[in-house]
Amino acid sequence: MGVLDDKVAIVTGSARGIGRATAELLSSQGAKVVINDLDGDVAQQTASEIGGETAVFAGDLTKGDAPDKLVQTAIDAWGKIDIIVNNAGYTLDAPIHKMSDDWWERMLAIHLTVPFKVVRAAAPHLREPAKREREEGVEVFRKIVNVSSTSGMFGNAGQANYAAGKLGTVGLIKTIAKEWGQFKVNANAVAFGFIETRLTSAKNDENQMEIDGEKVQLGIPEQLAAMGKMLIPLGRAGTPEEAAGAIFFLCSPWSNYVHGQVLNVTGGQQTGMMF
């Protein structure tokens, strides 16, 4: 028995890193999970390795009606949605005076517009059941969790685009909380600090991803990573599993009265990374 038995969850960007750890944890607690990633092969592999029921939607959520198709994947598989974790994202770093329009717009697209479109597509499947439950005098809580960052909360040199998108998603989640609280849809965000993922690992030729046929460099210089860890009172970066634990709390029954909040998961870090 798990605390999420019979719940249906969508986790975007869930083939690797924090997303995968989140999908694994939700599944281990009984949830049925839609795995999403740009790389369909990796998404399928992750789905096959996670215990429990899974479905896969592979594709770029910034393209066309992909958010609607993602939501429909859950509906086709299980007929409902209980949990949405908006986690998909990456970085394109440059100082403001050198940042292109394209890089600015791509970060807003994946970190802010995609969560909006996923939530909008899921709206009928979150609101309509709640209306019936309200008439019956029954409380059933559903959950939306947006993944933000300390870059959004505090700013970060070289990440104006990423920071703007990550803070924007906080404004989005707080608005959802005000609009959909009446439907018992808990809407919260997690702002992560330094978590060990591809985005914070070494910047080298092996740490890249491909988007629209273009190689995108991920990671940060090792010296900056070492400096960043000095700002963390716990003295180390967090793990994807520790990050997933915070998301799980906001998806669980224990967070039913936590609403419109941002949970900082930083190891005690109270500032941006100052890169």
What 8-state DSSP symbol labels residue 82? -
- Tell me, yes or no, if 257 is annotated catalytic: no
Measured between alpha carbons, how far is 41 from 142 in angstroms, rounded to an integer?
30
Q: Structure tokens of 207?
A: 């740490």
Considering 57, 162, 192, 248, which one is annotated as catalytic? 162
**Given the DSSP bridges, would you call strands 142-149 and 208-211 parallel, antiparallel or unpaired?**
unpaired
Please provide residue 274's backbone torsions phi and psi, each rounded to the nearest 5 degrees: 60, 35
Q: What number of other Cβ atoms are within 10 A of residue 78's Cβ?
A: 17
Instruction: In whole angstroms, give the CA distance from residue 129 to residue 183.
Output: 9
115 contacts: CB under 8 Å, gap ≥ 6: 86, 146, 169, 172
Angle made by CA atoms 85, 151, 204, in degrees to the nearest 5: 90
Contact 152, 174 (CB under 8 A): no
Residues annotated as part of the active site: 162
